[in-house]
Amino acid sequence: MTTITEVKPPTSGGGSKARASTRGERAVEPLIFEKSVPGQRAVDLPPLDVPQAELPDELLGAPVELPEVGQHDVMVHYTHLSNRNFSVDGNFYPLGSCTMKHNPRINEWAAALPGFASLHPLQDDTQIQGALRLLYEVRCFLEEISGLDEVSLQPAAGAHGEYTALKIIRAYFKDHGQPQRHLVLAPDNAHGTNPASCAMCGCDVVQVKTVHGHTDLDDLRRIINEHGADNVAAFMITNPNTAGLFDSKIAEAADIMHDAGAKLYLDGANMNAILGKTRPGDFGADIMHFNTHKTFSTPHGCGGPGAGPIAVRNELAPYLPIPQVVMADDGSFSLDRDRPKTIGKVRSFVGQFGVLVRCWAYISACGPEGLRNIAEKSVLSANYLAVRLRRVYEMPFFDPEHGRFCAHEFVTVPKRLLDKGVSLNDIAKRMIDYDVHPPTMHWPVHDCLMVEPTETESKRTLDRFVAVMLQIAQEIENDPASLAQAPTDAVISRADEVAAARNPQLVWDR
């Protein structure tokens, strides 16, 4: 097998303004409203087979001005739109912290089975034993993977899981006569959802300093002393952390929190790197959330649906949301609502069932060896890319000579390239010309790219990415100004996001 060592620039060469015109008609896809023809339809219904009932005028609304388009043009419209998207299926998509891995199609097949997809959420437990069994098994899988005692499948997404978990922590402390514990500590490089979730629970956030990407435990102790241990509810941490590093002092952080009578909350966004290698419950976490759309291959769908199951230690279990799926001694399954200390409901019905079906299919396909292999291959791939790129793209937290490897993702702050007069955005937009989706940008530190290749990419794809990044660096050496035109080979040239925010047009008004 050959190793890709170089890539050709997009056909017409870097950054010529003239190229934009070659996009021609491809550059503009009319809105579906602009394709509307009065009286046109894409589908019909059987004739009404009952008499018409009276409908009082005062109840009647005006018709909704929806588009009127024939079936073939509907097909063409959405096919055209799909062609204007990068995706995991079509592109390398190393979006750091999002774990854009392959989405197996057996998962989609499973979720669409009529015996799953058609079920009404309020049906009797006796009619849906298969669905409840599946949910119960996902619960058990996640309890084992987390090393914690009980899982709730109700939260709809990661941030929703955070919210639910914080509510549980608050409820626990209230129930234990410590309602004053309202402070949640989080590293200064925490996911933005962490402080936002705290605010929605009425908690105040205190930032803990990080040094070289790691939480400064002295600062953690200082903050606890300063604010009083009795006021602290929890410390929210991600491991591997948001700088893409394993936190070797995580157990110590847990001890500090437990000594203060507080809880350690694990943001499970980066679980992909530790599946089967270590378990949150084993390193001291009391409560955590999973992101099934990251770790367990449920598709990201242009921004959801996800699912954000949470796992807790026994002492927090009474506060989990209702309903909870349980198994009786006779092997039958049911939804238990009899939890007097529950925080209540955080979502209607049971949860993101269709997403959890996919999650079951994935974990079952992988098995325990497979899950561990996923962690290993994701970490291997990230370190391989980091080593290949670091002489050109500086990496503040990566130093393999001194045993400082990255986990499943790495952060680069390409200072030397930026000093040539290009912006980080220029680099990102140029990647699009090479059919690579840009990594996460400006987070967790300013002017950085965060690259997460995931375990499902081939070595060939990884090598091509290295070649692309080196080629872009070469372009910057040769003609930094040309990158300001990027992307030159996308369906549009650079979108004016400043204008969009200044004068927001959120709906089509013609």
**Residues within window 22-41 making contact with other proteins, judged by CB under 8 A:** 27-29, 31-33, 39-41
CA separation, residue 319 to residues 212, 290, 311 (Å): 37, 18, 12
Nearest distance in Å: CB 266, other proteins: 12
What CA–CA distance (Å, rounded) separates 338 from 292?
Answer: 27
Residue type, 502: R
The single residue among 16, 127, 180, 332 that binds other proteins, judged by CB under 8 A, is 127
Binding mask 426-465 for other proteins (x = CB under 8 A): --xx--x----xx-x--x-----------xxxxx------
**Residues comprising the chain, all counted:** 510
Q: Which of residues 42-81 bind other proteins (CB under 8 A)?
A: 42-45, 48-53, 55-56, 59-69, 71, 74-75, 77-81
Nearest distance in Å: CB 113, other proteins: 4
Nearest distance in Å: CB 439, other proteins: 10
C-beta closer to other proteins: residue 130 or 421: 130
H/E element holding 267? strand 263-267
CA separation, residue 479 to residues 16, 421, 425 (Å): 12, 10, 16
The single residue among 4, 178, 199, 261 that binds other proteins, judged by CB under 8 A, is 199
Q: Which of residues 336-375 bind other proteins (CB under 8 A)?
A: 337, 343-355, 357, 361, 363-374
C-beta closer to other proteins: residue 197 or 220: 197
Nearest distance in Å: CB 479, other proteins: 18
| Torsion over CA: 223, 226, 230, 233 (sign) | negative
C-beta closer to other proteins: residue 262 or 342: 342
C-beta closer to other proteins: residue 313 or 347: 347
What CA–CA distance (Å, rounded) separates 198 from 185?
Answer: 10
Size of the site for other proteins (CB under 8 A): 212
Q: Which residues pair with 334 in a beta bridge?
A: 326
Nearest distance in Å: CB 261, other proteins: 20
Q: Which of residues 134-193 bind other proteins (CB under 8 A)?
A: 134, 141, 144-145, 147, 156-160, 162-163, 167, 170, 191-193
Q: Which of residues 215-244 bind other proteins (CB under 8 A)?
A: none
Nearest distance in Å: CB 316, other proteins: 16
H/E element holding 441? strand 440-441
Binding mask 87-106 for other proteins (x = CB under 8 A): xxxxx-x-x--x-xxxxx-x
Q: Helix axis angle, 193-200 relative to 158-175, nearest 10°? A: 40
Q: With contact defined as beta carbons under 8 Å apart, do 356 and 292 qualify? A: yes
What CA–CA distance (Å, rounded) separates 319 from 303?
Answer: 29
C-beta closer to other proteins: residue 404 or 420: 404
What CA–CA distance (Å, rounded) separates 334 from 327?
Answer: 6
Q: Which of residues 275-314 bind other proteins (CB under 8 A)?
A: 276-279, 282-283, 291, 293, 297, 299-307
Binding mask 243-282 for other proteins (x = CB under 8 A): --xxxx-xx----------------------x-xxxx--x
Which tokens hold the place of 212?
Answer: 């070289």
Q: Which of residues 483-502 bind other proteins (CB under 8 A)?
A: 485, 487, 490-497, 499-501
SS3 151: strand
DSSP annotation string for 174-230: HHTT-TT--EEEEETT--THHHHHHHHTTPEEEEE-EETTEE-HHHHHHHHHHH-GG
Spell out the residues 6+ positions from residue 469 whose beta carbon is closer than 8 angstroms to its own: 389, 392, 393, 431
What is the number of alpha carbons within 13 Å of residue 208 lying toward its C-beta? 29
Query: Among 6-14, 133-141, 217-225, 413-421, which window interacts with other proteins (CB under 8 A)?
Result: 133-141
Nearest distance in Å: CB 471, other proteins: 18
